[in-house]
Amino acid sequence: MSSDARLREQMCDLARSMFDRGLTGGSTGNISARTEDGGLLVSPTGASFGRLDPARLSRFDAQGHHIGGDRPTKEMPLHSAFYDTRGRTAAVVHLHSCHAVALSTLPGANEDDFLPPITPYAFMQLGRVRLLPYFRPGDPAIGDAVRGLAGKRSAVMLANHGPVVAGLDLEGACNAIEELEATSRLALLLRGTTPNMLNPQQVEALVKLHDMAWGDA
Protein backbone atom coordinates (compact mmCIF):
# COMPACT_ATOMS: atom_id res chain seq x y z
CA MET A 1 0.00 0.00 0.00
CA SER A 2 1.36 3.45 -0.92
CA SER A 3 1.92 6.14 1.70
CA ASP A 4 -0.94 8.14 0.16
CA ALA A 5 -3.31 5.19 0.49
CA ARG A 6 -2.24 4.55 4.09
CA LEU A 7 -2.82 8.20 4.99
CA ARG A 8 -6.27 8.13 3.38
CA GLU A 9 -7.24 5.06 5.41
CA GLN A 10 -5.86 6.55 8.62
CA MET A 11 -7.76 9.82 8.13
CA CYS A 12 -11.04 8.01 7.61
CA ASP A 13 -10.46 5.61 10.52
CA LEU A 14 -9.62 8.41 12.97
CA ALA A 15 -12.52 10.57 11.78
CA ARG A 16 -14.94 7.66 12.13
CA SER A 17 -13.69 6.98 15.66
CA MET A 18 -14.33 10.58 16.69
CA PHE A 19 -17.77 10.53 15.08
CA ASP A 20 -18.72 7.24 16.74
CA ARG A 21 -17.83 8.67 20.16
CA GLY A 22 -19.91 11.82 19.65
CA LEU A 23 -17.03 14.29 19.28
CA THR A 24 -18.64 15.80 16.18
CA GLY A 25 -21.99 15.00 14.62
CA GLY A 26 -23.86 15.07 11.33
CA SER A 27 -21.69 16.55 8.59
CA THR A 28 -19.76 18.83 10.96
CA GLY A 29 -16.00 19.00 11.37
CA ASN A 30 -13.13 18.75 8.92
CA ILE A 31 -9.70 17.18 8.82
CA SER A 32 -6.59 17.48 6.66
CA ALA A 33 -3.11 15.98 6.50
CA ARG A 34 0.14 16.65 4.69
CA THR A 35 1.09 14.05 2.11
CA GLU A 36 4.58 12.70 1.49
CA ASP A 37 4.96 14.81 -1.67
CA GLY A 38 4.04 18.04 0.14
CA GLY A 39 0.40 18.12 -0.90
CA LEU A 40 -2.72 17.77 1.23
CA LEU A 41 -5.57 15.35 1.75
CA VAL A 42 -8.71 17.11 2.99
CA SER A 43 -12.19 16.00 3.99
CA PRO A 44 -14.81 17.07 1.41
CA THR A 45 -17.43 19.74 2.04
CA GLY A 46 -20.63 18.45 3.60
CA ALA A 47 -19.05 15.08 4.44
CA SER A 48 -19.73 13.21 7.68
CA PHE A 49 -16.77 12.07 9.78
CA GLY A 50 -18.64 8.81 10.19
CA ARG A 51 -18.78 8.10 6.46
CA LEU A 52 -15.63 9.47 4.83
CA ASP A 53 -14.57 7.58 1.72
CA PRO A 54 -10.78 7.30 1.27
CA ALA A 55 -11.13 7.50 -2.52
CA ARG A 56 -13.18 10.72 -2.39
CA LEU A 57 -10.94 12.80 -0.10
CA SER A 58 -9.95 16.10 -1.69
CA ARG A 59 -6.36 16.02 -2.96
CA PHE A 60 -4.14 19.08 -3.34
CA ASP A 61 -0.66 19.20 -4.84
CA ALA A 62 2.31 20.92 -3.20
CA GLN A 63 1.41 24.20 -4.93
CA GLY A 64 -2.08 24.21 -3.41
CA HIS A 65 -3.99 23.21 -6.54
CA HIS A 66 -7.02 20.92 -6.17
CA ILE A 67 -6.10 17.93 -8.33
CA GLY A 68 -8.51 15.19 -7.31
CA GLY A 69 -11.38 13.99 -5.18
CA ASP A 70 -14.50 15.85 -4.11
CA ARG A 71 -14.73 19.58 -3.44
CA PRO A 72 -12.91 20.36 -0.17
CA THR A 73 -14.35 21.72 3.06
CA LYS A 74 -15.29 25.38 3.02
CA GLU A 75 -12.88 25.81 5.96
CA MET A 76 -9.80 25.55 3.71
CA PRO A 77 -8.67 29.11 4.65
CA LEU A 78 -8.53 27.93 8.27
CA HIS A 79 -6.49 24.84 7.45
CA SER A 80 -4.17 26.72 5.08
CA ALA A 81 -3.44 29.34 7.73
CA PHE A 82 -1.98 26.72 10.06
CA TYR A 83 0.07 25.03 7.34
CA ASP A 84 1.43 28.37 6.14
CA THR A 85 2.33 29.79 9.57
CA ARG A 86 3.45 26.65 11.44
CA GLY A 87 5.98 24.97 9.20
CA ARG A 88 5.99 21.67 11.06
CA THR A 89 2.23 21.18 10.81
CA ALA A 90 1.39 17.77 9.34
CA ALA A 91 -2.34 17.68 10.16
CA VAL A 92 -5.21 19.97 11.15
CA VAL A 93 -8.45 18.87 12.83
CA HIS A 94 -11.56 20.98 13.43
CA LEU A 95 -14.52 19.66 15.44
CA HIS A 96 -17.84 20.99 16.69
CA SER A 97 -17.41 19.18 20.00
CA CYS A 98 -20.16 19.86 22.54
CA HIS A 99 -18.33 20.74 25.75
CA ALA A 100 -15.67 22.93 24.14
CA VAL A 101 -18.35 24.91 22.31
CA ALA A 102 -20.41 25.26 25.50
CA LEU A 103 -17.39 26.52 27.43
CA SER A 104 -16.65 29.08 24.71
CA THR A 105 -20.06 30.73 25.19
CA LEU A 106 -19.64 31.45 28.89
CA PRO A 107 -18.64 34.95 30.04
CA GLY A 108 -15.32 35.70 31.66
CA ALA A 109 -13.18 33.40 29.49
CA ASN A 110 -9.46 34.08 29.31
CA GLU A 111 -8.93 34.73 25.60
CA ASP A 112 -5.19 34.09 25.78
CA ASP A 113 -5.50 30.89 27.84
CA PHE A 114 -8.90 29.34 27.20
CA LEU A 115 -8.52 26.11 29.18
CA PRO A 116 -8.15 26.20 32.97
CA PRO A 117 -5.11 24.36 34.43
CA ILE A 118 -7.02 21.30 35.66
CA THR A 119 -4.73 18.47 34.53
CA PRO A 120 -1.24 18.35 32.97
CA TYR A 121 -2.43 16.68 29.77
CA ALA A 122 -3.85 19.72 28.01
CA PHE A 123 -0.56 21.57 28.53
CA MET A 124 1.42 18.57 27.30
CA GLN A 125 -0.56 18.20 24.09
CA LEU A 126 -1.88 21.68 23.34
CA GLY A 127 0.11 24.37 25.10
CA ARG A 128 -2.02 27.44 25.65
CA VAL A 129 -5.26 27.55 23.65
CA ARG A 130 -6.26 30.90 22.17
CA LEU A 131 -9.97 31.80 22.17
CA LEU A 132 -10.88 33.57 18.94
CA PRO A 133 -14.16 35.47 18.42
CA TYR A 134 -17.12 34.10 16.49
CA PHE A 135 -16.82 33.95 12.71
CA ARG A 136 -19.36 32.69 10.22
CA PRO A 137 -18.44 29.12 9.18
CA GLY A 138 -16.31 29.26 6.06
CA ASP A 139 -15.49 32.95 6.53
CA PRO A 140 -11.96 33.59 5.17
CA ALA A 141 -11.49 35.94 8.14
CA ILE A 142 -11.01 32.85 10.32
CA GLY A 143 -7.83 32.12 8.38
CA ASP A 144 -6.76 35.75 8.78
CA ALA A 145 -7.25 35.50 12.55
CA VAL A 146 -5.08 32.38 12.72
CA ARG A 147 -2.41 34.03 10.58
CA GLY A 148 -2.48 36.94 12.99
CA LEU A 149 -1.14 34.59 15.67
CA ALA A 150 2.06 34.27 13.60
CA GLY A 151 2.40 30.56 14.23
CA LYS A 152 2.51 30.95 18.01
CA ARG A 153 -0.36 28.58 18.82
CA SER A 154 -1.06 25.00 17.81
CA ALA A 155 -4.66 25.15 19.06
CA VAL A 156 -7.44 27.70 18.93
CA MET A 157 -11.04 27.72 20.06
CA LEU A 158 -13.50 29.42 17.73
CA ALA A 159 -16.19 30.94 19.97
CA ASN A 160 -19.68 29.45 19.45
CA HIS A 161 -18.20 27.19 16.78
CA GLY A 162 -15.52 24.66 17.72
CA PRO A 163 -11.87 23.82 18.44
CA VAL A 164 -9.07 23.59 15.86
CA VAL A 165 -5.74 21.85 16.44
CA ALA A 166 -2.61 21.59 14.30
CA GLY A 167 -0.34 18.63 14.98
CA LEU A 168 3.04 17.21 14.10
CA ASP A 169 1.23 14.13 12.81
CA LEU A 170 -2.36 13.10 12.18
CA GLU A 171 -2.84 10.87 15.21
CA GLY A 172 -1.25 13.47 17.49
CA ALA A 173 -3.59 16.19 16.24
CA CYS A 174 -6.60 13.95 16.89
CA ASN A 175 -5.38 13.04 20.38
CA ALA A 176 -4.79 16.70 21.20
CA ILE A 177 -8.23 17.88 20.10
CA GLU A 178 -9.81 15.08 22.14
CA GLU A 179 -7.85 16.34 25.15
CA LEU A 180 -9.20 19.83 24.50
CA GLU A 181 -12.74 18.49 24.59
CA ALA A 182 -12.08 16.41 27.72
CA THR A 183 -10.62 19.40 29.57
CA SER A 184 -13.57 21.55 28.51
CA ARG A 185 -15.92 18.94 29.93
CA LEU A 186 -14.03 18.93 33.23
CA ALA A 187 -14.19 22.74 33.33
CA LEU A 188 -17.97 22.64 32.95
CA LEU A 189 -18.34 19.91 35.58
CA LEU A 190 -16.30 21.98 38.03
CA ARG A 191 -18.01 25.29 37.30
CA GLY A 192 -19.33 26.90 40.46
CA THR A 193 -16.96 24.92 42.69
CA THR A 194 -13.52 25.76 44.09
CA PRO A 195 -11.24 23.00 42.74
CA ASN A 196 -7.52 22.78 43.30
CA MET A 197 -5.94 23.77 39.98
CA LEU A 198 -2.34 23.27 38.93
CA ASN A 199 -0.32 26.14 40.38
CA PRO A 200 1.98 28.39 38.30
CA GLN A 201 5.08 26.47 39.39
CA GLN A 202 3.58 23.16 38.28
CA VAL A 203 2.57 24.67 34.95
CA GLU A 204 6.05 26.14 34.45
CA ALA A 205 7.61 22.73 35.11
CA LEU A 206 5.39 21.17 32.43
CA VAL A 207 6.30 23.89 29.95
CA LYS A 208 10.01 23.24 30.46
CA LEU A 209 9.75 19.46 30.49
CA HIS A 210 7.62 19.16 27.36
CA ASP A 211 9.22 21.84 25.18
CA MET A 212 6.15 23.99 24.89
CA ALA A 213 7.68 25.92 21.99
CA TRP A 214 5.39 23.78 19.82
CA GLY A 215 2.40 24.90 21.84
CA ASP A 216 3.33 28.57 22.09
CA ALA A 217 6.38 29.40 19.98
| CA pair distance 119, 106, nearest whole angstrom | 21
Q: What is the CATH number of the domain that holds 51?
A: 3.40.225.10
- Rounded CA separation 22/18 (Å): 6
Angstrom CA distances, 173 to 128, 134, 155, 181, stand at 15, 22, 9, 13
- Whether 88 maps to a domain, the answer reads yes
Torsion angle of the four alpha carbons 141, 145, 147, 151, in this order, in degrees rounded to the nearest 10: -150
Q: Is residue 214 part of a domain?
A: no
Question: Looking at the domain assignment, is residue 54 inside a domain?
Answer: yes
pLDDT of residue 211: 63
Count of domains observed in the chain: 1
- In this prediction the pTM is 0.94
Tell me if 215 is assigned to some domain: no
Among candidate residues 93, 154, 100, the one with its CA nearest the CA of residue 123? 154
How many Å from the N-terminal Cα to the C-terminal Cα in the chain? 36
E strands, the chain, are 30-34, 40-42, 58-60, 66-68, 91-94, 130-132, 155-158, 162-167
Establish if 107 belongs to a structural domain.
yes
Domain that holds residue 78: 3-209
* pLDDT value of position 63: 95
- Amino acid letter at 89? T
Consecutive 10-residue averages of pLDDT for the chain (217 residues): 95 98 96 97 98 98 97 97 96 98 96 95 91 95 97 96 97 97 98 95 85 49
**Residues identified as active-site:** 75, 121
In a domain, 135, yes or no: yes
